[in-house]
Amino acid sequence: MANALQQIIRDRLDREGWSYGEVARRGGIPRSTVHHLATAERVVRMPQPSTLEGLSKGLGLSLDTVRRAAAEACGIHVYAADAPPAEGAPGAPADPEVDLLIASVQQLSADDRRHVAALVESLLGRDARRG
């Protein structure tokens, strides 16, 4: 069974009649990268932002669509960045690094999550003391 990233690549190739090379040329990324992402049984780590951007351009799909498919292929749940902000929260634009950090925390053990939480609290406290 194909993962989410494989599926969107295959669907686009089938629909448009493109080859891996055509997608690579359109996106300015190596053909081997497109082939790997389209055929790898499991994506072990999230592709680099430049790879996702090139794949997005090559496939003619939004970066958000490609990023979400890649995250899902890695086993990472990405929260909807375009969801309306909580009441009273500033409506800042979505940040892919924040999305990835939030999603990645779910993969940590309970003990590791406590360490991350302590680090975040420490950093936030440090920033408040500076302000």
82 lies in a domain? no
- For 56, the 3-state DSSP assignment is helix
Which domain, by its residues, includes 69? 4-73
Residues 119 and 63 occupy one common structural domain = no
**Least confident window among 24-28, 39-43, 107-111, 127-131:** 127-131
State the pTM of this model: 0.62
Residue 113 lies in a domain: yes
CATH of the domain at 60: 1.10.260.40
| CA contacts within 13 A on the Cβ side of 63 | 14
CA distance 54 to 89: 32
Domain membership flag for residue 91? no
Task: Quote the pLDDT of residue 112.
Answer: 85
